[in-house]
Structure 1
């Protein structure tokens, strides 16, 4: 049974994960989308402020987005996509071998102005294997409303 807008409450939380980030994946993603040496060259990365290879923040966001979609599918959310993301922060570098997980909390919901769709804003926090936050954002979700009579 789908989870509609009306079924979601501010304060609802859910945790999900895990996903191991590999060195090969970090380099491959960065070579294609964020080709800075601290993401693409382990040796050169040693001499940067990161002191070693670090995943692109966009890579970290993509991994956490995948985990969020899996969480929403597991919960049966009737997702209709998102209006955007607010307050994106990269808190701590993600390194080869890090195991990521996420937690989200519903922080606000509104009726919205789209017919049949409500707005649900959720704070996502991505964690590494040591339960240290590595990324946060507020997702501006759109969730289908229950049809009349359901």
Structure 2
């Protein structure tokens, strides 16, 4: 079933996903995109960082979140892409062994044209303890059912 603009309601909440963070993936991502020492140097991060060990890059956390969003929502949605983010915050460090999930709440909707509308949503990425490790507010365009 395709999810159109009309299928989303302000206040609607979806919760989904289960993504286990591995040290190998953390290192691979960080070495390629964010090679700061607390992401790539296990020994130094254990001895010197305020985190007590390796943590994911915030950009890796955002990428894992996007994967869950695509797997559990956008793969079935009439999404036309995003206009951008209004806010992005990394709230709690993500470590190897954490298991992430996503909670999305629709905050606002606006019909822009006969063929599309914009949905403003807050996404929270949660760890296995229910702590929000990342939050973002995004503006995504959806096709309208009647505008097909």
TM-score normalised to structure 1 length: 0.92
User: How far does the alpha carbon of each residue in 1:85-143 deviate from its partner, in whole angstroms, 9 at most, with x for none?
Assistant: 1210000000001000001000011112x551100011000011111110000111100
User: How far does the alpha carbon of each residue in 1:60-104 deviate from its partner, in whole angstroms, 9 at most, with x for none?
Assistant: 000011111122147x32111100112100000000010000010
Alignment length, in residue pairs? 147
Give the structure 2 partner of residue 131 of structure 1: 130
User: How far does the alpha carbon of each residue in 1:7-30 deviate from its partner, in whole angstroms, 9 at most, with x for none?
Assistant: 211011101110101011111100
Structure 1 consecutive aligned stretches of length 4 or more whose deviation exceeds 3 Å: none
Report if the CA contact (8 A) 1:14-1:71 is conserved.
no
Give the structure 1 partner of residue 60 of structure 2: 59
Distance 2:119 2:50 in 1: 37
Which structure 2 segments of 5+ residues have no match? none
Distance 2:7 2:28 in 1: 40
Give the structure 1 partner of residue 49 of structure 2: 48
Distance 1:129 1:7 in 2: 29
Give the structure 2 partner of residue 30 of structure 1: 30
Over the aligned positions, Cα root-mean-square deviation in angstroms equals 1.5
Give the structure 2 partner of residue 82 of structure 1: 82
Distance 1:115 1:66 in 2: 30
The alpha carbon displacement at 1:49 in A equals 2.1
Distance 1:136 1:34 in 2: 20
Which structure 1 segments of 5+ residues have no match? none
Distance 2:137 2:17 in 1: 18
The alpha carbon displacement at 1:31 in A equals 0.4
